[in-house]
Amino acid sequence: MPLYECVFIARNDVTQQQVETIADQVATILAEQGGEVKKREYWGLRGLAYRIKKNRKGHYMLLGIDAQPAAMREVGRQLGLHEDVLREMTLRIEAIDEAPSAILSRRGEERERDRGFRGPRPAGRFTSGRTRERSDDREEFRARPRDEVEPATGGEE
């Protein structure tokens, strides 16, 4: 049977469980017609490039499907009629990659990165300038004894 990848975007006000329910409905439609979902990835709530039906964010779900073309037409029709699905796109592919998609692998790399040290702070950018947070050790700012600053006036006659 031909292989397909189907990505759909659900509204941002539905929960992740409701998105999983939509994917389960797709799986039952495919099972009735002899197909199956071989891969399922939830990509999370992500920002949209532009507004779709007054939504700025959406839940993304990727499905790797092995089914007949007639079953895929029915899946596309059902997703188009579903009120919580904003968009869907189905592509025919040669093979379903079992490894995590680029979206999930990039998210894993971000978690592995060390986020503790982000470099030195630029001078004056994050402070109001009213207080000095660090002492200045340069010679011209060191406290001098009073004798060096003002000459003594009491010894001249």
Higher pLDDT, 32 or 150: 32
**Tokens matching residue 6:** 């189907």
Dihedrals phi, psi of 29, to nearest 5 degrees: -60, -45
Nearest-angstrom CA–CA distance, 6 and 91: 6
| Burial tier of 21 (Cβ tally within 10 Å: 0-12, 13-18, 19+) | middle
What's this model's pTM, rounded to 2 decimal places?
0.67
Hey, CA dihedral for 40, 42, 48, 53, is it positive or negative?
positive
CB count, 10 Å around CB of 75?
A: 26
Q: How many helices (DSSP H) and strands (DSSP E) are in the chain?
A: 4, 4
pLDDT at 12 over 60: yes
pLDDT digits (tens, 9 = 90+) for 44-56: 899 999 999 999 9
- What is the edge-to-edge ordering of all strands in the sheet holding 55-66? 36-52, 55-66, 3-11, 85-93
pLDDT at 34 over 80: yes
CATH fold of 3-95, please? Alpha-Beta Plaits (3.30.70)
Q: Compute the mean pLDDT over every residue in the chain, rounded to the nearest whole number.
A: 82
pLDDT at 11 over 60: yes
pLDDT digits (tens, 9 = 90+) for 74-116: 999 999 999 999 999 999 999 988 888 888 888 767 665 655 5
